[in-house]
């Protein structure tokens, strides 16, 4: 950010009736009531679309933790979506259908991968960090293409959603609420993290890493732990996504998917709790709406993103706060 003051270090009480709070409350309420609308009208398409919004919003929330609060711009975040998804897909194919096995493996594999990537990448800064995370994501992308047993380039169909005993994930509404719970849980977790002592170190390191180290914090370790938490969260979102589409493929990890996640976070509002949700919803709904209006949706979506980059300070959340660029 070009401004000297770090907006994420604001300490104003967040619960006043600002347009932002009203808007956020409305979104959460709409999301909570959506299955009711879907049941009354029999419109399952909307429910499917919004399930996708919730899942990708959870992924964006995890990216925002490192990018928005930690200043670590990861351009390979889609890799964790892929690892989580492939963990579910591969276990399902090998006959392990229980979610109690699949999901922990998805989370653990993503966390482990994030540990390796973070340990190597966090030595670099700025655009070098952006590119090294991208390089690691590309490696995983090619690994997935090479997995002949699991479909290679064509991807892997998952015939059965994860089994959780009495909870039936093949029920659309149940699955929707599960995704909703995961999303709210992630946002709550991020809120707890960034307001803890740990989170203050992370945010301080984003503002001025050298100063944080000078006053005695081994920031590398803090940042690495933060990076691993974000990877694990995104792996969980990947497991959800695989269950949602019943399909995983290397395309899930193409670098443009990582770009999509960055776009969601920046569009919604970097370093804000609900920004990633707003960004993911705006991006996906805009994409969907435009593709109904015209055969060439990106012809409008592209310039919109450009205009947001040029004119909006802090994305949509920034707009709600009345922040704008001159």
Partner 1 sequence: MLYFIEQCLNGVQLGLLLFLLAAGLTLVFGIMDLVNLAHGSLYMLGAYFAATFAVWTGSFVLAVILAVVASLIVGMVLEVVAVRRLYDRSHLDHVLGTFGLLLFFNEAVRLIWGPAGMTLALPNEMLTAVQVIPGVYYPIYRLVIILATLAVAGFLYIVVMRTRLGMLIRAGASNREMVGALGINIKLLYTLVFGLGAALAGFAGVMQAPILTVQIGMGENILILAFVVIIIGGIGSIRGALVASVLVGLIDTIGRAFVTDLLRRVLSTNAADTLGPSLSSMSIYMLMAAVLVFRPEGLFPAASR
Token pair for 161:
């959603």
Q: Which is nearer to partner 1, 27 or 130 (CB)?
A: 130
Q: Which is nearer to partner 1, 1 or 184 (CB)?
A: 1
* End-to-end CA separation in angstroms for the chain: 15
Distance CA 254, CA 109 (A): 19
According to DSSP, residue 157 is labeled: E
Question: Residue 265: which of 316, 224, 319, 322 has the closest Cα?
Answer: 316
Token pair for 173:
């509404």
Are the CB atoms for 187 and 273 separated by under 8 Å?
A: yes
At closest approach, how far in Å is the CB of 19 from partner 1?
A: 23
At closest approach, how far in Å is the CB of 270 from partner 1?
A: 7
At closest approach, how far in Å is the CB of 296 from partner 1?
A: 5
Backbone φ, ψ for residue 254 (5° rounding): -60, 150
At closest approach, how far in Å is the CB of 26 from partner 1?
A: 25
Q: Which is nearer to partner 1, 96 or 135 (CB)?
A: 135
Q: Which is nearer to partner 1, 19 or 303 (CB)?
A: 303
At closest approach, how far in Å is the CB of 120 from partner 1?
A: 5
Q: Which is nearer to partner 1, 64 or 245 (CB)?
A: 64
Neighbours of 191 (CB within 10 A): 14
According to DSSP, residue 163 is labeled: B
- Where along the sequence are the contacts to partner 1 (CB under 8 A)? 1-2, 67, 73, 75, 120-121, 123-128, 130-132, 134-136, 138-139, 142-143, 145-149, 255-256, 259, 262-263, 266-267, 270, 296-299, 301-306, 308-310
């Amino acid at each position: 950010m070009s401004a000297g003051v770090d907006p994420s270090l604001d300490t104003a009480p967040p619960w006043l009736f600002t347009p932002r709070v009203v808007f956020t409350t409305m979104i959460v309420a709409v999301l909570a009531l959506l299955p009711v609308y879907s049941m009354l009208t029999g419109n399952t398409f909307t429910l499917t679309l919004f399930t996708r919004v919730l899942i990708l919003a959870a992924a964006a929330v995890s990216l925002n933790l490192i990018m928005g609060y930690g200043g670590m711009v990861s351009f390979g975040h889609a890799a964790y979506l892929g690892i989580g998804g492939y963990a579910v897909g591969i276990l399902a194919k090998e006959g392990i259908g229980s979610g109690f096995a699949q999901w922990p493996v998805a989370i653990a594999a993503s966390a482990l991968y994030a540990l390796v990537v973070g340990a190597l990448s966090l030595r670099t800064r700025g655009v070098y960090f952006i590119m090294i995370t991208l390089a690691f994501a590309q490696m995983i992308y090619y690994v997935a293409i090479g997995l002949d047993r699991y479909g290679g380039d064509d991807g892997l169909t998952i015939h059965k959603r994860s089994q959780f005993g009495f909870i039936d994930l093949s029920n659309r509404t149940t699955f929707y609420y599960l995704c909703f719970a995961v999303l709210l849980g992630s946002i709550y977790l991020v809120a707890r993290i960034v307001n803890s002592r740990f989170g203050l170190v992370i945010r301080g390191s984003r503002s001025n890493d050298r100063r944080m180290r000078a006053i005695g914090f081994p920031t590398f370790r803090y940042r690495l732990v933060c990076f691993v938490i974000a990877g694990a969260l995104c792996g969980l979102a990947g497991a959800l996504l695989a269950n949602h589409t019943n399909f995983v493929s290397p395309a899930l990890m193409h670098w443009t998917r990582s770009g999509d996640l960055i776009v969601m976070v920046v569009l919604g509002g970097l370093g804000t709790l609900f920004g990633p949700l707003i960004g993911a919803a705006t991006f996906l709904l805009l994409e969907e709406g435009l593709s109904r209006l015209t055969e060439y949706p990106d012809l409008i979506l592209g310039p919109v993103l450009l205009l947001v980059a040029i004119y909006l300070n802090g994305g949509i959340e920034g707009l709600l706060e009345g922040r704008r660029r001159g």
